[in-house]
Structure formats: C-alpha cells, structure tokens
Amino acid sequence: MSTGTTTSSAAGRRAAALAALAEQTIELPSWAFGNSGTRFKVFAQAGVPRDPFEKMADAAQVHRYTGAAPRVSLHIPWDKVDDYEKLAAHAADLGVSIGAINSNLFQDDDYMLGSLTHPDARVRAKAVAHHVECIDIMRATGSRDLKIWLPDGLNYPGQDDLRARQDRLAEGLAQVYAALDPEHRIILEYKFFEPAFYATDVPDWGTSLLHCLALGDRAMVVLDTGHHAPGTNIEFIVAQLLRVGRLGAFDFNSRFYADDDLMVGAADPFQLFRIMNEIIAADALRPDSGVNFMLDQCHNIEPKIPAQIRSVMNVQEATAKALLVDREALHEAQQSGDVLGANGALMDAYNTDVRPLLAELRESRGLAPDPMRAYAASGYAETIVAERVGGAQAGWGA
C-alpha cells in the first residue's frame, strides 16, 4: 500500500471518527452528584445538591463542558419530587433531559428476603407496585427506560427454593412488563454477587437474557462493567448480546476487586477500549442502535462534577480509539491468520493519542478544548459551596 493511500485511509477514518463522536451521548446518574460512597463510610462534601432540581443543575454543567451528556438517570425514591413534569421542565431549561428511571428494591425492610422473588406474595405485590409507580414517573418525565437491578438472593443453602424464586421473578417481571407503554422498555441488570452471597437471583447475563427473551422485544439486558468476576471477558458478553439484539444499556464504571463503582476507564482503560471496539464493529454506536451508554458511579473522595466530566472524557477517548481501528487491515490479517498483524491493528489504534482529535471536535462545536480546565475556571464549584448552605444534602439513600 502506498503512503498516499495509507494517509487517505487514515484521513477517512479520522473524519468518520469525528462524525461519530459528534453524535455520541452518555447518560449521567443523578446519584453521582450527591453524597455517595462505600458501604462503610460516605464522606460529605460541601456544595452537593440538596434536591433533584439541584442535581439537574450540576448534571447540566457536565453537558455544558463536554457536549456529550444530555440525559440524567433518576433513582426512585432517592429522586422523588411532588411534580415530575416540573422536574422534567427544569431539566429542559438547563439543556438536559430525564433518562432512565431506576427502581430501588434494596432499602425497604420488607425486602430483606427478596422483592420480586420473596416467598410472601404481599411483598412481591409491593415490589411490582413500586415499578408501576416508576412507570408513571416515566410517563411524566418522557423517559423510555425502566432499569431494574434485583438485589434478591440467598445467603445460605436451603434458605429458599432456587427454582421457585426464578418462577416468582418471571411472574413479577411479566406484570411489570404488561404495565409498560408501547414506547417503554425494561432494561434488566445483573450482578454475580452482593448483597446476597450464596446465590443471586440474576447473577449473570445469561439469566438476565433468559428473562428478557421470555418477556418480549422491549426487554433488554443492562451490562454493568463492575458486575463480573475477576478475569471475565466482558467484550465477549457485549458481542453476544449485540448478536441477538438484546444489549439495552451499559452502566459504565471501573472495578479492581468487586463492584467498586470507580470512574470508568480508571482501573483498566484497555478493557474499556476493547468493549468500545465491539460496539464499533457491530455499528452499535449509532444513536438509533438501542444501546444506551450510561454511567453508574459513586464519588466518595473525588469532587462530584469533575469526576463525571472526567468519566465522560474517558468514554469519549476509548470510543475515539476504537473508531480509528483500521478495519480493512484488521479483517485482512484475521482472514490470513496473521495473529500479530491483527493484534497490531488494535494496538496501533489504542496507542493513538486522541486528545487532540477530541479537542478539535469540541472547538468545532463552540466548546472549550479541555472540559476539566474550563469547568475549574468557571467558578461554579465555588458558587454552589457558598449557596447550598443548610438543608439535607441529597445523596446515598436520600
């Protein structure tokens, strides 16, 4: 291949990457802006939001400086308000919108032995009713996704019937699914352990997928990057779910040991690149692909808004690198059995410094090239510390 052809091809990939990155959006979690942290201690910070309206204001700052975070997930009951249409209008005034509605099945005393899988029909009915409430909130806010993470499970062998719990879960999910409007989806998360330690009722992508297949076309799997055993090949799961059209969303974060909820790309940026490589290869980055890219993180020792800005930037950088993979060279090497050549095609893209490319993208959209520096210079952090005095801060469990 001539130098001119190589340059032209590289220029074409660069142009295509800029176009794709301009359309990429990443949903923010409302709870990341409040006081949130580990199971042992939550370190309070000055200036954090005192209610969901202030959470929207802080999330809007992330979108203002990255241009890539126009939606905010809500968590019920943490984000309960008297008027959800007013909250949605407030978000729109700030330039953002309400994203997924997350149910909460892990803080009510009734759910000690389970929620949708509980042996007591009264508790199961309560859990279904909570999801119906969340669907009403979806209608009021314009949300399309009901995200369910089921913390149900067992701590001891014999504590309950494993098979019966799956039957109860299927029945409960079917009731929730029947309450959806035609434009709504259920996106069902999984986690291999915690808070249950012997058997979790939705421990893996296969279990989530089986329930989604039984429910119907508007039930999809959520992949939280922190919800896997060490050494799990997450990009393989991504590829499989994309093959069958059931990857509904990501919950991006980083883990070293378990569900650490650290900033995405902080622990293993190469893994994030490999995941995004599968997304690009399947043409699933498109806004109409049905895959929602979301963050699910807790910022215990780092400032909230900069942590979310950095997280969005990390996803953008991994995506940009994946977009720069020479797909023709990769395919040719794969077909010819050139193992090192194929791996080299990926590594060449991964080792590319894409920060100038993203700076160019931001400047073309009228944004500062460095979102972190621009936010720090804005004075917003100092303003909220001075203004948000008194009242209960809205954070973990609020």
Residue with the larger pLDDT of the pair 40 and 308: 308
The pLDDT assigned to 69 comes to 98
Distance separating alpha carbons of residues 260 and 253, to the nearest angstrom: 8
Q: Is 384 part of a structural domain of the chain?
A: no
Mean pLDDT of 242-263: 96
Strand, coil or helix: what is 188? strand
Flag whether 248 is in a domain. Answer: yes
- How many structural domains compose the chain? 1
- Is it the case that residue 394 has pLDDT exceeding 90? no
Let me know if residue 386 belongs to a domain: no
CA-to-CA separations, 212 to 39, 218, 222, 381, in angstroms, rounded: 30, 8, 11, 42
Cβ proximity of 390 and 48 under 8 Å = no
pLDDT at 244 over 90: yes
pLDDT band at 1 (very low <50, low <70, confident <90, very high): very low
Residue 138 clears pLDDT 70, i.e. is over it: yes
Q: Give the helix, strand, coil percentages of the chain, each rounded to 5.
A: 50, 10, 40
Structure-block tokens of residue 374: 């621009």
Q: Does 84 fall in a domain? A: yes
Residue 148 predicted with pLDDT over 80: yes
Does 381 map to a domain? no
Higher pLDDT, 355 or 391: 355
Question: What pLDDT is stored for residue 6 in this prediction?
Answer: 52
pLDDT at 216: 98
CA distances from 43 to 102, 304, 344, 385, 392 (A): 24, 12, 44, 15, 14
Tell me what the pLDDT averaged over the chain comes to.
95
Give the mean model confidence (pLDDT) for residues 108-136.
Answer: 98
What are the angstrom distances between the C-alpha of 349 and each of 226, 238, 330? 25, 20, 11
Question: 147 by DSSP, 3-state: which?
Answer: strand
pLDDT category, 390, cuts 50, 70, 90? confident
Residue 64 pLDDT > 50:
yes
pLDDT at 8: 57
393 domain residue, yes or no = no
- Bridge-based pairing of strands 153-154 and 199-200 is antiparallel
* Residue pLDDT, tens place only, 11-51: 999 999 999 999 999 999 999 999 987 778 889 899 999 99
Cβ-contact 314, 265 below 8 angstroms? yes
Give me 233's structure tokens: 């090949």
Q: CATH number for the domain including 52? A: 3.20.20.150
- Mean predicted confidence (pLDDT) in 235-244: 98
Query: Helix or strand or coil: residue 224?
Result: strand
> What span, in angstroms and rounded, lies between the C-alpha atoms of 183 and 99?
14
Residue 164 domain-assigned (yes or no): yes
For residue 193, count other CB atoms closer than 10 A to its CB. Answer: 15
Residues 6+ apart with CB under 8 A from 253: 224, 225, 226, 260, 261, 262, 263, 264, 295, 296, 297
User: 151-183 pLDDT, tens per residue?
Assistant: 999 999 999 999 999 999 999 999 999 999 999
Measured between alpha carbons, how far is 318 from 51 in angstroms, rounded to an integer?
A: 33
pLDDT at 273: 98
Residue 283 near residue 277 (C-beta atoms within 8 A): no
Q: Which domain holds residue 263?
A: 25-325
Mean pLDDT of 58-77: 98
355 located within any domain: no
Residue 3: is its pLDDT beyond 60? no
**pLDDT tens, 180-203?**
999 999 999 999 999 999 999 999
DSSP line for 42-109: ----TT--SSHHHHHHHHHHHHHHHS---EEEEETTTT--S-HHHHHHHHHHTT-EEEEEEP--SSSG
